[in-house]
A and B are shown apart, each in its own frame.
Chain A
Amino acid sequence: MLAKSVMTKDLITAHLGEPVGDVLQRMRKHKLRMLPVLNDKKVAVGVVSTFSILEKIVPSYIASGDLEQVAFAPDIGFLKTHYDQAIYKKIEEVMDDTPLLVKHDESLLSTAAALTSLDKHEYALVIDDDECLVGIISSGDILDYLRNMKVNDKNDA
């Protein structure tokens, strides 16, 4: 079984240069927590997620893990200030620019291995031979596929 057979093809995307606020609104509207980010050639260049945005709002010395916990600190007020600044930033400033990419003709086993490898990812972006985005595959997509699979099909996965 290949990645392209399991992936989600109806995609909502973000584009380089868009303001973070507009992308967040789109995510809210479609009840999504992440969007692939494309350049003008439809090549996947990153992923923006609620996590990647929050990571830019929390000060770097906390988000980086240098200050492991801040249970001792009261609300200092900078989260709202940083949020108000972040929504006007361009999406490339807050996106994760090292998304997990898998080729459309990779096997399901290879895709599952990539998702569970050392840098665990919830989603992989599926790209074609020209590196253009053709779909998204999540760990949930793989589990749903396996649940619906018939016993006789098991050699396919």
Chain B
Amino acid sequence: MHNSTHIIHSSIPFGLDATWVAVSILLVIYAVIMAEKFNRAVLSLLGAGLMILCGVLNQQQAVAGIDFNTIGLLTGMMVIVAISQKTGMFQYVAIKAAKVVKGEPWGILVMLSLVTAVFSALLDNVTTVLLIAPVTLLITDALAVRPYPYLFALILASNIGGTSTLIGDPPNIMIGSAAHLSFYDFLTNLMPIIPIIFIVVIAVIWLMFGSDLKTTDEKKELIMQFDEGAAIKDVPLLKKSLFVLFAVISGFTSAHALHLEPATIAMFGAALLLLLQTWGEPLHDKDHAYEAIMAEVEWTTIFFFVGLFIIVTGVEHTGVIGMLAEKTLALTGGNFAATTAAILWVSAIASALIDNIPFVATMIPLIQSMGPTFGGQEALVPLWWALALGACLGGNGSLIGASANLIVAGFAQRAGHPIAFLSFMKHAFALMILTILISHAYLYLRYLS
């Protein structure tokens, strides 16, 4: 993200004011993205193009505004996940988890939530729920229990788990990259509160659904007949994937000491796994495999980010984000604790209702602009944790709060158990508020008291 803010007035057509042009582009594009009538990547690229065509930015400034660390980290992890998921390891772990608790319905809910949270912390949330939700539906069919409590828990667990690491959720990737916060920083600052939030949420889910989750001994025995070993489809590839995943995660934890950016580690890991995946195969098969993996990278998301970075850079160049930061500080009276709380709660509510990626993309330069007021960029660190906790946990507030929520809802719909928007929100929003209250207490006790 571009740090400097300076007002430019050159080459704006019809003598229009650059600030109004840039802000109008941002507002119109964000509004149409929220309406969900058009593809969000197309809209963000259109907005980015307009920023240049209208003279708010030149192409050089636009390209400089793209955070290639975020783009590289996302793309690299998408490649690694696309290959790893072919091994069946996710299904293996999910089934193993169900068997560890001897097929007990409540135990299975807890274990599947835990597995989802851990995978969501290490990989992206969407992939995690894409792989865990179908197994969950199969297990609930076998148990003859209502799948809703399980899917509800899965959604919450994926967003809670994703909050805990640099790579767990796209907002964290963006924040880490912009604020130069390492994987280790996320582990030591966000991870400690996540188990507490997870336990509290699971306890509330128990109060909500615990008494409904009953099955027969016969059905439990059916779960014990699942053969997790048969889920592993490719043992050599599993070994290669685990090796690269372990190496990449280790790389993230030591990236700071090695003076490496996470994108370098993720892209190198991706290239290494692509190479290992097809090692020893004929060239034609290799090419085919590479192309198949590349097709699985979510290019829509990548281009959405590219466009978004340019749009936000355009607005940032006009100085309007700096002005917004000043207004925010005026509202909080320049008080650091009040500003932290405001960022946490506004991010949470906003992320429950709108896409948290454009929200975070806009908040990043706004928080950076607060540096001089609070004594430099170093002093802003608690504000970044407030943004990460608010944006990631806020995703639990509604069915549209995060992409993973919509994926699970899609599975439920197709399986004949649709999740109603309002009935989900009735429980989930209250639980989200609870998690933000816990986060608020944590931020206060650790950084502000």
Contact = CB atoms under 8 A, between A and B. Distances in A.
B414 A70 contact: no
A78 B230 CA distance: 20
Contact of A61 (B91, B133, B226, B229): B133
Contacts of B225: 74
B135 interface: yes
Given A60-B414, A61-B411, A61-B414, A69 B233 contact: yes
B228 A72 contact: yes
A64 B412 CA distance: 13
B416 interface: yes
A61 B231 contact: no
Given A59-B415, A60-B415, A64-B414, A73 B142 contact: yes
A66 interface: yes
Contacts of B416: 60
A76 B221 CA distance: 11
A72 B230 contact: yes
A71 interface: yes
Contacts of B52: none
Interface residues of A, number: 16
Interface in B134-174: 134-135, 137-138, 141-142
A71 B230 contact: yes
Contact of A66 (B88, B228, B411): B411
Given A72-B95, A72-B227, A72-B228, A61 B142 contact: no
B272 interface: no
A62 interface: yes
Interface in A12-61: 59-61
B42 interface: no
Contacts of B227: 71-72, 74
Summarize B's interface: helix, strand, loop or mixed. Answer: helix
A69 B231 CA distance: 8
Contacts of B91: 67, 72
Nearest to A61: B134
Interface in B197-223: 222
Nearest to B91: A72
A76 B142 contact: yes
Nearest to A63: B414
B130 interface: yes
A70 B229 CA distance: 11
Interface in B220-262: 222, 225-231, 233
B415 A67 contact: no
Summarize A's interface: helix, strand, loop or mixed. Answer: loop
Nearest to A60: B414
Contact of B135 (A67, A74, A78): A67
Nearest to A76: B142
Given A61-B414, A66-B130, A74 B137 contact: no
Q: Which of A62, A71, A76 has the most CB of B within 10 A?
A: A76
Nearest to B413: A60
Contact of A59 (B130, B137, B228): B137
Interface residues of B, number: 24
A78 B414 contact: no
Nearest to B412: A61
Contacts of A70: 138
B226 A74 contact: yes
Interface string B297-318: 0000000000000000000000
A68 B138 CA distance: 12
A61 B135 CA distance: 9
A10 B222 CA distance: 49
B138 A59 contact: yes
A95 B425 CA distance: 35
Contacts of A69: 88, 233
B134 A76 contact: no
Interface string A105-133: 00000000000000000000000000000
A61 B414 CA distance: 7
Contacts of B130: 66
A73 B414 contact: no
Contacts of A73: 138, 142, 226
A66 B95 contact: no
B346 to A, nearest CB: 36
A68 B226 CA distance: 16
Nearest to B414: A60
B222 A62 contact: no
Contacts of B229: 72
Contacts of A71: 227, 230-231
B138 A74 contact: no
Contacts of B411: 61, 66
Contacts of A61: 133-134, 137-138, 411, 414-415
Contact of B134 (A66, A74, A78): A66
A101 B95 CA distance: 44
B410 to A, nearest CB: 9
List 8 tightest A-B contacts by C-beta distance, closest first: A67-B134, A60-B414, A72-B230, A61-B134, A74-B225, A72-B231, A71-B230, A66-B134
20 contacts: A59-B137, A59-B141, A59-B415, A60-B414, A60-B416, A61-B411, A61-B414, A61-B415, A64-B414, A66-B134, A66-B411, A69-B88, A71-B231, A72-B231, A73-B138, A74-B225, A74-B227, A76-B138, A76-B222, A78-B141
